[in-house]
Structure formats: structure tokens, C-alpha cells
A and B are shown apart, each in its own frame.
Chain A
Amino acid sequence: MSFTERIRSPEDVRHVKGEMPINFLYTAGIAGEKFLREIKENAKILGVRCRKCDIVHVPPKIYCERCFERLGDWTELESEGRIETFTTCYFDADGSRLAEPEIMAVIRLRGANEGIIHRVREIRDREIHVGIEVKAVFREKRDRMGSVLDITHFEPSAP
């Protein structure tokens, strides 16, 4: 084949373990800072409106990805919305089996044109379907860090 000498014994196969030994510290950015601070301080979810495209982006951005105009028209959204799509996950990010499966969903908040990604709890697997209404459950103020995890999960809105 392409070269003249190959490994012919499994004994001669050699592997070397290694890793990328780095870690990261991210900032939330200009829009993200304002968005997460509002969740932290007031348990409110902010979006930003693009008048040109007539859509409300959430999480907010300093620009509209569609028309690329700069945005600054911040708007407060309700913390309730519809499930756009969902999935039941059986593993964690390491590939280990979860004790209890976890439902992940895209939730389109009322007044927004985009859907935030979060967990859905307090619902049985067979009761969940596309289109049902859910609401955000926030952590207590003293526990909020300014993170998407300040929302612990979404759960079905009261009927």
C-alpha cells in the first residue's frame, strides 16, 4: 500500500494519553450583561426589538442578525410561553446515565420571536407536547448569580 512497513502485532501498537490543559473565563458581553443582571436583580426577562425586521430577540443582542442593524429597543417579556420543541435526555454531558431523565425544551416566550433553551420539570413525559404553555421558575433572589441558571426550570403554567 502507501508505505512499506506497518505494525503487524498488537503488542507494538502505542497510544499516548493527553488533554488540552486549559480553562476559560467568559464575559456575557454588552447585551448579555444587561440581560443577566435583570434576571438577577428583578427576575425579569428582557428582549430587544428590531423594528426593521419586526422581531424581538431573546436572549438580546446588540445587533439584529438578520438586518445587521444596531439594536437598543429593550423590552420586558413575560416569563411564560409555549414549547416550540422538546426532547427527553437520558445522559449528561459526560455521557453518564442520568438518574432521572431530563426534559429540555425551546420555549418561545410571549412577545418574543425566539425561544430560550431550558429544562422543563414538574410534568410527566406523556403529558408534554409541542405547544403547551410553561412558565419560568426563578431562584430566590439571594441565590441568583446572574446566569441562565437563575431560572431553575420551566413548568406548566397554571391551567
Chain B
Amino acid sequence: MSAEHTAHGEGHHHHITPLSHYFAVFGALLVLTAVTVWIAQFHFGAANTLIAMLVATIKASLVALIFMHLLYDDRLNSLTFLFGLLFVALFFIFTLTDVYTRGFIDPVRDNHYLRDEQVAQLKLAAEAQQDLPAQYPKKTIGEDYPVAEDERVNPPAPPPPPAPPAAPATDAEGNVIAAPEEAPKPAFAVDPAKAEQGKALFASKTCAACHSLDGSKLVGPTMKGIWGRKEVMADGSEVIVDQAYWLESIKTPNAKVVKDFPPAMPVLPVSDEEAEAILHYVNSL
């Protein structure tokens, strides 16, 4: 980074801005910050963003013109800066034209499918399991969530909850270099209360669909005796199953895939506490 700081091509310009200008600008900036924070409490709806942006632009131009001497430098500097801002504006304008006008011609093509699909899935999951783990929100989803019912197509038949993957396609993969070797962990202290919660989670999160508890090999490796076990990764490196590997495999399953198992594990909304509870349950068998 420091290479181009030796730009001796810049030349000297001996314009010394009087001290009073600096203090005036500094004062103005403080006042404007106070104004922005104060205005934010009143709710003007969409105009809120506009006002905030306006004030921010005033502050920014103050800093740029006086503190950064744009006012006194030769015109080329401010030209470059404006040229840059022009391209930023282009990037904004065209991307937002696309995002805003997606649903104009055919309302189905708008971005809302996502929310309906997820709402449907959450509703389905809510019905399927009465004793909802804490992760699902308290209120029942359906009524007050604005699922627009206008002329859109009849809401799609909610697909079944994540079905176990179809015949897993085992394609050859190389993985990034394996995690560094960790010292083997001591035996796992099982806390019976957590194990109980883990049992319910093991079912509701459909871990059972791919991981057996009795040692038999399914779509995924078995959970029996997994704690502290040395697992061989697809690219030959070994990893000791510990807290970090356990969490990571749940959060980003495809990061380290065990040898001759397909990278078929989906990303599931599981929190750290829940993962730990399942760990206790698995170790309590």
C-alpha cells in the first residue's frame, strides 16, 4: 500500500487554509451529527432515509472540500472524484431498476415467492411438531404475516420438508487442505437434561434420516461413538471429531466431507445450543 504514497508527481501547493475554517467545519460536523441522530426519532416513513442521506452528503462534502483540500487543489482531483461517483451512481441506478421492476409485467416474477415458500414451510413444520423447539418464533406465522393474496397464482403446494436426498451423486472432489491436527479430547461429560432436549431435536431436525445411532452406515456416517473418533476426510487428511468439527459440520456441512460419503447434507437452521444438545444426546447412547 505504501508504494504509491511516494507520489512525488503531486507537486506542492502552498495554499494554507486559515485555522478558523477548520474549526468552523469541525463545529458544523458535530452539529450535523446531532441533527441526524435527533431527526431519526421522528418517523416520516420513506423520507427518513432521504433526510439521513441528505445530511450525510452535506457532512461528506464539507469534509471533502475543506479537510481534503478539494476546493483548493487543481480541478483534476475533483474531476476524478466525481468521475468515480458517477460510476457508483451507474451501478446503483441500473441494479435497482432491475430489482424494482421485476414484477411489473408479470407479478409472479417478483421477489416475493421466497417469503411465501418459507412461510409455507414454517407453517408446515409448525403443524407437524406440536412441541416446537425454541428456535421457531412464538406467534403462529400464518395470520398476521402479510402473505399478499391478490391475483397471484394459487400458492404452490408446499413441498414436503427436506426429503432425504435422492440417490446421492458421488462425484470426485478434492477438498481444501485439512484442518490442523488437534490433541484428542477427554471423555465427554454428558448432561442428562441437554441429552433429553437433544433426543427431540435429533428427530425434528431429521438427523435420523441420514445418520444412524446403532453404527450402521447410511447416507451419512453413524453417530455411535463419534466423539473423539479420528475421521478420514475425502482428500485423505484426518480430523479428530471435537466440538469445533461438530459445529462446523452442522453449519457448513460441505466444508469437510468424510471419505466416500456424498456432500449431500443440507444446510439446516440449527443453533449452537441445539447442536450441543444433540451432541450430549448422541454421547449419552
Q: Do A and B come from one complex?
A: no
Using a CB–CB distance below 8 Å, which chain A residues touch chain B?
A: none
Using a CB–CB distance below 8 Å, which chain B residues touch chain A?
A: none
